[in-house]
Amino acid sequence: MRRKIIPYNSNLKQLARKLRNDSNLGKVLLWNELKNKQQYGLDFHRQKPLLNYIVDLYCYELDLVIEIDGLYHTWQEQDDRDVLRDAELAAYGLTILRFSEQEVRKEMPNVLRTIELHVFNHSS
């Protein structure tokens, strides 16, 4: 499978590296489930720069972005920014799955089932 080239702001690379090292618990827990192709044999990347954003998890094989929303996502202003961001990413054919950090921390089996359902519905 040939990778789709999605442009990104190279100035975000250093910040992405910092975010990988300073991830919250929900992001770490989900990453531990998805890294090293251990789920579904797919290659996930964390804190990946895409366009002018850094997404939490990205799987190029499925054009899938997974976002883990912390407490700050309850503010209306943040919700509006997420809508714009999701629309810009979707314009490149990406699908965005969003989970709250609480969901990831307390309901991991349900989160993994949701991802698995997406994987099986969108695999070739």
Whether residue 2 lies inside any domain: the answer is: no
Share of the chain above pLDDT 70, in %: 91
Which pLDDT score, from 0 to 100, does residue 89 have? 97
Buried b (16+ CB within 10 A) or exposed e, 22-42: ebeebbebbbeebeeeeebeb
Whether residue 1 lies inside any domain: the answer is: no
The pLDDT tens digits of the residues spanning 9-57 come to: 999 999 999 999 988 999 999 999 999 998 889 999 999 999 999 999 9
Cα dihedral 2→23→25→33 (10° resolution):
20
> What is the spatial distance between Cα 71 and Cα 85, in angstroms, rounded to a whole number?
18
The whole domain housing 105 covers 10-122
Whether residue 5 lies inside any domain: the answer is: no
The pLDDT tens digits of the residues spanning 73-116 come to: 555 566 788 889 999 999 999 999 999 999 999 999 999 999 99
What's the one-letter identity of residue 18?
A: K
Whether residue 4 lies inside any domain: the answer is: no
CATH (domain of 93): 3.40.960.10
What's the structural domain count of the chain?
A: 1
